[in-house]
Amino acid sequence: MESTYKTRLCKEQLDQIIRQHLAATIQDYEEMIEGWANQAYKIMLDDGRKVVLKIAPSAATNLMRCEQDLMMAEVEALRLVAELQDVPVPQVLVYDASLQYAPAQYFIMEYMSGVPYNQAKTQFTAEEQEGVEQQLGRYNKRINEIKGEQFGYFSGKDRQRATWREAFLMLMDDMLADGEEAEVDIGMDYSELRGLIEEKSDALDEVTESVLISWDLWDGNVLVQDTQITGIIDFERSLWGDPLMEHYFSHFNYTPGFLKGYGRAITTENERQRRSLYDLYFDLALRIECDYRKYDNQEHIQSTIHNLEEGIIRFRKI
């Protein structure tokens, strides 16, 4: 989907970057159009290797508060997950924040084979889908076994907090502040919504252990081939927080296969309260980011408006 965030590079810029960092030349390349914010290029090198170059929005882009330092966060998260050695994530080959060869920071990673699960899913039987999602549950569980020292954003101690309650309320405050500044209509008064959030915030106190969460591990970020997961990508939204904030615990998915693979379900009233807060946060993010990224897909924009309307109704009920 097209957005104003994307930083595009010409052939000459790509050539220079590849020569500088990998001592190789480009045989062929193509733009990867699936991403919604960062720009990515699949590159075939003259020595036969395939790599992906991912470049962030330029410094002049008006980013949301939750989108600060996303590239640095993704690189660090990928490196942490790679250390597990049993989760299929791409190896980071280069990370350059110098702005010497491009107008924004970028990194180069190995190319992962496979097709995004959201594109292949309809070709699988129900049993095959459950198998893929069971694999995903196991991998997501492994990612969540990486422990952190504090809670909150991946980037910088000033964006982290000692408790999950403080950290999540900071995330939510940032999201609502972005919505207000962009004058996004969320269907109700912002101050009223803040009051509803505060009423449920006691549930966050139960989370005392900080773990790495991908948060954005939806079907489009899962690569599959022959009903096997071959890659997990896009860790730019990574946070230190509660594993129940992961995408497959959301109202969008929450499938039996994932729960079986993960080995956990949402069962207590406290967990349902927490998940309602996380669902609301995600529904707000989907709606508010449309105004920042200036998406050109009107059908998607309308779907986020409708989803947020339903999300607020769900949030009031729980």
pLDDT per residue over 26-69, tens digit each? 999 999 977 666 889 999 999 999 999 999 988 778 899 998 88
pTM score of the predicted model = 0.94
CATH assignment of 11-110, among 3.30.200.20, 3.40.50.300, 3.40.1580.10, 3.80.30.20:
3.30.200.20
State how far the Cα of 146 lies from the Cα of 268, in Å rounded to an integer: 24
> What was the pLDDT predicted at 187?
95
State how far the Cα of 34 lies from the Cα of 94, in Å rounded to an integer: 22
Q: Do domains 11-110 and 115-317 have the same CATH topology?
A: no
CA angle 216, 31, 90 (to 5 degrees): 45
How many H helices and E strands in the chain?
A: 9, 12
* Domain range summary for the chain, segments of one domain joined by +: 11-110, 115-317
> What was the pLDDT predicted at 112?
96
> What was the pLDDT predicted at 38?
81
State how far the Cα of 312 lies from the Cα of 318, in Å rounded to an integer: 10
DSSP 44: E
Among the listed residues 138, 128, 140, the one whose alpha carbon sits nearest the alpha carbon of residue 260: 138
Write down the H helix ranges in 102-189: 117-120, 126-143, 164-181
**What are the angstrom distances between the C-alpha of 243 and each of 55, 124, 165, 282, 318?**
28, 28, 14, 14, 20
Among the listed residues 49, 45, 53, the one whose alpha carbon sits nearest the alpha carbon of residue 24: 45
CA angle 112, 44, 229 (to 5 degrees): 10
- Cα of first residue to Cα of last residue in the chain, in angstroms, is 33
Superfamily of domain 115-317: Aminoglycoside phosphotransferase (APH), C-terminal lobe (3.90.1200.10)
Point out the residues of the chain with pLDDT beneath 70: 1-5, 35-37
**Residue whose pair of structure tokens reads 């954005």 in the numeric block:** 216
> What was the pLDDT predicted at 4?
62
Return the number of other C-beta atoms located less than 10 Å from residue 8's C-beta.
10
180: Cβ–Cβ under 8 A, 6 or more apart, which residues? 190
